[in-house]
Amino acid sequence: MNNSMKKPLRFISIAASMAALATLTACVAPQPIYETSRQPYQTQHYVAPQGPYAEYGRIANIEVVRSETRGAAPSGGGAVAGGLVGGVVGNQFGHGGGRAAMTAIGLVGGALLGNNIESNANAPRAYESYRISVQTENGGYRAFDVPTPGDLRVGDRVRIDNGQISRF
């Protein structure tokens, strides 16, 4: 193969390696995980007619509830993918024995990077939600776990209708 044929092939090989590396590094930021609350929360800016299941009360307490998901151990897939990409990228540099050394370095470095990325993606995550405690007019207490308290504050008068809490 002459020198003019090697340049386009080398360019295509480098471009493919860079695309593979960009794809692998896109996995660094874990996808957000959203929790749903056990009780829905809706703010209503009007007074709805009292239904048969409506209760009234005041917010006694709003507290932060922290929970954590368990992490998972790396499966080895990130190390394999990283090693393959690193080996391909490392193979683009050097000549002769230097190319083999760069391929080996790329393979090891890519495997370490891929394993680290997978470990970060599988790491435990902490979540915060809010527990709103309401003292009802009949003296009982009800608790609502919501993702955000919205505009509700301790002391606010609220209406509880079909498991939904709203300011009254």
At 51-79, the pLDDT tens digits run 466 889 999 999 998 888 887 887 888 88
Q: Mean pLDDT across the stretch 147-151?
A: 87
Give the integer Cα–Cα distance in Å for 62 and 134. Answer: 9
Over residues 27-42, the pLDDT tens digits come to 554 444 434 444 444 4
Instruction: Give the model's confidence band at 20: pLDDT under 50 very low, under 70 low, under 90 confident, else very high.
Output: low
pLDDT band with cut points at 50, 70 and 90 for residue 24: low
| Range list for CATH 2.40.50 in the chain | 48-69+125-168
Q: Bigger pLDDT: 83 or 19?
A: 83
- 46 has a pLDDT exceeding 70: no
Q: Which fold has domain 48-69+125-168?
A: OB fold (Dihydrolipoamide Acetyltransferase, E2P) (2.40.50)
The whole-angstrom separation of Cα 149 and Cα 65 is 12
Of 3-12, 63-72, 140-149, 154-163, minimum mean pLDDT range: 3-12
pTM across the whole model:
0.44
Q: How many CB atoms lie within 10 A of CB 3?
A: 6
How many whole angstroms separate alpha carbon 106 and alpha carbon 100? Answer: 10
> What does each C-alpha distance from 148 to 61, 63, 152, 156 come to in angstroms?
14, 11, 9, 16
What b/e sequence results for 60-95 when a residue is b if at least 16 CB atoms lie within 10 Å of its CB, and e otherwise? eebeeeeeeeeeeebeeebbebbbbbbbbbbbbeee
- Tell me what pLDDT residue 6 has: 57
What average pLDDT is seen over the chain?
A: 77
pLDDT of 9 reads 64
In this prediction, residue 131 carries a pLDDT of: 92
Amino acid letter at 110? G
What is the SS3 string spanning 66-122? EEECCCCCCCCHHHHHHHHHHHHHHCCCCCCHHHHHHHHHHHHHHHHHHHHHHHHHC
